[in-house]
Structure 1
């Protein structure tokens, strides 16, 4: 794996880790050189994040060695990792929503004045500098919990980048970012590489890997598969190594003939930043809401589902008005939603996979106040087989599943419900390419079955690849409809950023 004559800055040798009877890492090797970006790829559950958590001091290996500059070291806690110049941007947010952005950025390193009191002015000034370094226009005085998932991720990236670490691990750092925000991050990453930092980049987005990486290492089922120079391989080679099979048609979009209007949204607004928004989704059609983070896509989806209150406008399903004063009424009307943050908004992590899937359809399996557990289990098993979820996970807490399998569990809940309208908000965020293909296949099957599918996606190839129409949002409104068969990524971005409108000298497209 190592190149003769080139001593790695970091080397992990024969690292093994078990969680009970599960062998998460089986004697894996990995090395990292100064001044390189090394992509670590594999499906969810392949062992990538486990290896990085060992490097970060969050968990301890069972066996194996960690070498820095050729010398063996022990990393027993996150503080020791930081002392060695190692910083980690985790896939799941590691922030405090109740605190301000500035407080989160200063956490553990709060500036003090000469009297020992917190120096808030210095903290704000420092926060402005850290956010400006990655091009994030965020007010550091705002509570972090008020920001979108994408904005919260930017704050965590700013905090990690500000540490000027020799080794920076980025675990799906752009999963919740817009295209523009991701481009800012790419610039920061390339600047760090040019300054001699060593970066581990974990991503399921092939275009990112091919843009940034010098080398690619693939893990599968907790084992090391191979390391290759990125210039010597093709994306199809990596996919084959990751999943052990070819994925000829990733998006599974075939010819579709939409039917009657199922979801009809008219002049929906929150009375302030978002709306009025009107849209329709027909039976057998997939429509994607695209745009930058903050454009209002998620807000529209949540208002349709009743998770957030709409102060104006109407929603109808199959011609019947929906008074969506809450998700319960939306669900009763035939609307289902997979939210962008599965852990915070969709799953009960301490409850079993079976309970999480059955939750949306309990009234189907009860009578006289008694739930028929046998019927529940049989129906849940059917959906798990449909989504290729291992039946052995049935009784496990949902929090123990990989990100991709957690997303499948949320999808299974609504497939069991057999809703007429499916709203999928960032359905493949943080999901490996094998699971992505399976989710895209389910979306295609839903459309083929006559369902109306509304998708929110920041992944432009995905938005174009799975949908029939794209509705581009900017500043809380739909500004353009595009035909996915002819649309390009550039088309979407020009309308999302308002570039065409500014060129034409007008306020709107």
Structure 2
């Protein structure tokens, strides 16, 4: 029997540090990953996880500290150098090139050369088809990446990393846009059975517990501890991550029975993939939308905000029928959408503008006179909405692109709240943020609803819908196949409806 102490770690990191001027991104990280292990990295947004990934992937060079890969010094100078040594990364901020095909992206970072010419397109596509088949990804090799859903782009990013045959596979928030983990987890287990080690970064503790026996917690750029996750409960992990205990968050489901006035009422809506959708969101109500990838939930939100053409059906706000053909008409009707777009960095923020400018763009009429921005008004509004989302004043003048993902998400929610809209459409508002930021966003949503607002919320995390919502609409094949209320909202019923296995006697009211 092999002595565990004699096993050479796949990766060993000691005292890793990185600073950008006075800002310390990593202040000392130590961790060890064993062969065939799925090792978790846990921490809040801004804890140093992204910097650690960039260093191990060869994107960034550390200021000090050492790393060893299978016992040999590891100092990658680029992504190509890291891959050549056996480290492949599937990045959270996707590294695919949207103007290229699936096959061309799989062949990156370089298209293989024959003896005298580039490999033929047909050979490259045949190779891509074999790779896609091996990993169970049903995409056409000639498909343009820009035309793929974000979930399929994430899967392609993962497959490309796995196909390099790495010694160490780094997965950075790999399920942030995936509604099901079955495909990925099966691949991970197959990889580790062959001896591949996996560094797994996720804010979803249930996933981490399913995959990982050990995890390293980062806080403020330092490794706090490597812990046996089987012996450590969620409260203890959270306390290590933030240095304090997690406050209890609960939802008073009985409140829906006390609400009678409808704020948003949709009747027989046909738009894009959505067919005959009918539902209501009450004043003070939070209604969740659940569904697997590509079932039409995106078209529902886009239609309500004027981004997808409405073929038929009616929309009423406070009993008044409204016509919504553009976002400006939606705003006039009292709706504001926070798609917190699936790709926050490309569709949500203006990265070179300050946080304050990004936020107040949502309410220019409130902070300007005759088209001239009034600085005092802008600052007053900014402070007001920043308090609602727990965004620190010191970030106001930062370029928003410099903030962690969690703080960017808070700023986007603040932008929506600044409009004073009567109804909010929130599309996956906590995707890829840490548990502390999630709680701040939950509380902001609940305060908004309690003050008389109405919220329609899509989430890829079913636990979020269970925790936060009064009602849940389940979308399958473009139709709302179930409407769950109160205590009926639980994951088993949602999954049954979302996969087309609707038991009408036990799965809430059929739509």
TM-score range, shorter chain: over 0.9
Deviation at 1:420, TM superposition (A): 0.8
SS in 1 for 2:126: helix
Distance 1:289 1:436 in 2: 18
1:494 alignment partner in structure 2:
496
Distance 1:99 1:253 in 2: 49
2:161 alignment partner in structure 1:
160
1:477-492 paired onto structure 2 within 5 Å: 477-492=479-494
1:95-134 paired onto structure 2 within 5 Å: 95-110=96-111, 116-134=117-135
Mean alpha-carbon deviation: is it higher for 59-68 or for 34-43? 59-68
Task: Indicate conservation of the 8 Å contact 1:251/1:440, yes or no.
Answer: no
Distance 1:423 1:90 in 2: 28
Flag structure 2 segments of 5+ consecutive residues without an equivalent: none
SS in 1 for 2:255: coil
Deviation at 1:109, TM superposition (A): 4.3
Task: Indicate conservation of the 8 Å contact 1:252/1:440, yes or no.
Answer: no
Which of residues 458, 465, 468 is equivalent to 2:467?
Answer: 465
Which of residues 340, 345, 348 is equivalent to 2:347?
Answer: 345
Flag structure 1 segments of 5+ consecutive residues without an equivalent: none
SS in 2 for 1:311: strand
Distance 2:40 2:249 in 1: 21
Deviation at 1:416, TM superposition (A): 1.4
Relative distance call for 1:405 and 1:253 in structure 2 (3 A) is farther
1:313 alignment partner in structure 2:
313
2:152 alignment partner in structure 1:
151
1:69-468 paired onto structure 2 within 5 Å: 69-110=70-111, 116-179=117-180, 182-250=181-249, 252=251, 255-257=254-256, 258-270=259-271, 273-339=273-339, 340-468=342-470
Q: Deviations over 1:251-296 (max 9, x none)?
A: 555642334111112222235x332322211111111110100111
RMSD: 2.1
Task: Indicate conservation of the 8 Å contact 1:112/1:119, yes or no.
Answer: no
1:20 alignment partner in structure 2:
21
Deviation at 1:300, TM superposition (A): 0.7
Distance 2:268 2:138 in 1: 29
Q: Deviations over 1:141-177 (max 9, x none)?
A: 3222222211211111111111111100111000000
Normalised to the residue count of structure 2, the TM-score between the two structures is: 0.93
Distance 2:202 2:137 in 1: 21
Distance 1:19 1:259 in 2: 54
Task: Indicate conservation of the 8 Å contact 1:256/1:448, yes or no.
Answer: no
SS in 2 for 1:485: helix
Distance 1:168 1:392 in 2: 36
Q: Deviations over 1:409-442 (max 9, x none)?
A: 0100111112111111111110011111111111
Relative distance call for 1:313 and 1:219 in structure 2 (3 A) is same
SS in 2 for 1:417: coil
Distance 2:279 2:119 in 1: 50
Mean alpha-carbon deviation: is it higher for 244-253 or for 428-437? 244-253
Distance 1:129 1:447 in 2: 50
SS in 1 for 2:40: strand
Deviation at 1:225, TM superposition (A): 0.6
SS in 1 for 2:132: helix
Distance 1:282 1:73 in 2: 57
Q: Deviations over 1:288-338 (max 9, x none)?
A: 110100111111101101122223223221122332221111112211111
Task: Indicate conservation of the 8 Å contact 2:253/2:470, yes or no.
Answer: no
| Equivalent residue pairs, number | 501
1:42 alignment partner in structure 2:
43
Distance 2:51 2:243 in 1: 21
Distance 2:133 2:497 in 1: 25
Relative distance call for 1:80 and 1:502 in structure 2 (3 A) is farther
Mean alpha-carbon deviation: is it higher for 424-433 or for 379-388? 379-388
Relative distance call for 1:230 and 1:473 in structure 2 (3 A) is same
Distance 2:193 2:129 in 1: 24
Normalised to the residue count of structure 1, the TM-score between the two structures is: 0.94
Task: Indicate conservation of the 8 Å contact 2:59/2:78, yes or no.
Answer: yes
Distance 2:220 2:324 in 1: 44
SS in 2 for 1:279: strand
